[in-house]
């Protein structure tokens, strides 16, 4: 019996993501179909971005006399954490569209500056 409730979370227990690094930013796309915007959170802490998604499902089947034959409740939380280096936290953009969360994380410009250390 196949159960598509957990898709895309089957297998590894996480959700699928694509991560690209460009010269001035990181781009993250996370597949979160069927998950409401209010059940997704994105946090940045100490050079890591964490994406959390919660899924809640309630199913009820009744017969012709409106008697409950079956009730099921399922819920789960899934999270992914990625190292992103020095980013401009104030410039982060997030958009949820057709079940795909897109994050744009601009790099901090001052990370390109190098300091030469004198050796005594």
The answer as to whether 76 is a domain residue is yes
The answer as to whether 23 is a domain residue is yes
Cα 72 to its chain centre, rounded Å, is 26
Span 24-53, pLDDT tens digits:
999 999 999 888 899 999 999 988 999 999
Residue 113 pLDDT more than 80?
A: no
Residue 60 pLDDT more than 90?
A: no
The answer as to whether 45 is a domain residue is yes
Q: Which domain holds residue 99?
A: 4-112
Which range of 34-43, 50-59, 63-72 scores highest in mean pLDDT? It is: 34-43
Residue 79 pLDDT more than 70?
A: yes
Q: Does this model's pTM top 0.75?
A: no
For residue 61, what are its two tokens?
Answer: 């089947």
Closest of 118, 108, 106, 120 to residue 27, by C-alpha: 106
CATH of the domain at 44: 2.60.40.790
């Amino acid at each position: 019996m196949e159960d598509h409730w957990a898709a895309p979370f089957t297998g590894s227990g996480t959700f699928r993501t694509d991560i690209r690094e460009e010269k001035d930013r990181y781009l993250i796309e996370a597949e979160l179909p069927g998950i409401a915007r209010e059940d997704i959170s994105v946090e940045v802490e100490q050079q890591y971005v964490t994406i959390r998604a919660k899924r809640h499902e309630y199913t009820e089947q009744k017969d012709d006399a409106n008697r409950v034959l079956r009730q099921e409740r399922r819920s789960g939380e899934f999270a992914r954490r990625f190292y992103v280096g020095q980013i401009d936290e104030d410039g982060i953009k997030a958009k949820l569209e057709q079940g795909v969360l897109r994050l744009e994380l601009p790099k901090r410009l001052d990370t390109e500056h190098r300091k030469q250390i004198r050796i005594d």
